[in-house]
Amino acid sequence: MKVNQAEFIISAVGPGQYPQDALPEIALAGRSNVGKSSLINRMISRKNLARTSSQPGKTQQLNYYRINNDLYFVDLPGYGYAKVSKTKRAEWGKFIESYLLKRETLKVVMQLVDLRHPPSKDDQAMYTWLKHMNVPVIVVATKADKIPKGKWQKHAKIIKDELGFDRSEPFVIFSSEMGLGKDELWELLESAIGW
Ligand code: GTP
Ligand code: MG
């Protein structure tokens, strides 16, 4: 996919603010700080269109980015950030859940996990829930540059085992830092959209 244009559209706090033009949407889920915004920037070759920060939990809305008038990336609020109150977390949970279940233009969810670590309880719960609800999901294990290449497969296996990963599905090893996995991921996204 050649990205000619990428534009921030809106930070939506409710369905009334979602775009109305029915372009396909690709959502990014994952715990705070796992690298969702960085992955978007890498996929569209921009340094900082999607806001990245070292302050986890910053992204609290659905951030819409339109690519080429072809599709949207939807950066979901990161889950599992301990400093956020329980009430707040439950609110986000419901908000995200209803987006994931009801948004008709949603084509696929990229669920990001950190290749360095076993999946968290929240990662496991999210993956199980997406599968249970039949939401198409691509697992992306990111920050691969932070461990030696020789260890990637070992880490990937632990993540797959602990997620109860469906091995007939795509699992992408990714690094926003190096651009690793970008072409493979674009191909998977295009096929999920039905192009
Ligand atoms: P929230 O918006 O808080 O949910 O976080 P996020 O998932 O969008 O994470 P973000 O992209 O802001 O990245 C968090 C931190 O991890 C930043 O300091 C990034 O530079 C760093 N980071 C993200 N991806 C990678 C990667 O592939 N490699 C390395 N080395 N660092 C990364
Ligand atoms: Mg972010």
> pLDDT tens digits, residue range 145-195?
999 999 999 999 999 999 999 999 999 999 999 999 999 999 999 999 999
Q: What is the dihedral of CA 78, 96, 37, 172, to 10 degrees?
A: 90
Average pLDDT of the chain to the nearest whole number: 92
Question: Domain extents for the chain?
Answer: 6-193
* Residues facing 142 on adjacent strands: 114
**Relative to the CA of 174, which ligand 1 atom is closest?**
27
Mean pLDDT of 116-143: 97
pLDDT greater than 90 at residue 113: yes
Is the domain defined by 6-193 classed in CATH 3.40.50.300?
yes
Mean pLDDT of 72-90: 80
pLDDT in tens, 82-105: 567 778 777 778 888 999 999 999
How far away, in angstroms, is 33 Cα from ligand 1 center?
Answer: 5
Could you tell me if the CB of 32 is within 6 A of ligand 1? yes
The tokens describing 192, both together, are 């999920």
Q: Whose CA is nearest to atom 10 of ligand 1?
A: 35
Q: How confident is the model at residue 81 (pLDDT cuts 50, 70, 90)?
A: low
In this prediction, residue 89 carries a pLDDT of 73
ipTM of the complex: 0.99
Cα separation of 68 and 75, whole Å? 17
pLDDT greater than 60 at residue 35: yes
Mean pLDDT of 2-13: 93
pLDDT greater than 90 at residue 58: no
pTM: 0.94
In this prediction, residue 102 carries a pLDDT of 97
| Contact between 61 and 11 (Cβ < 8 Å) | yes
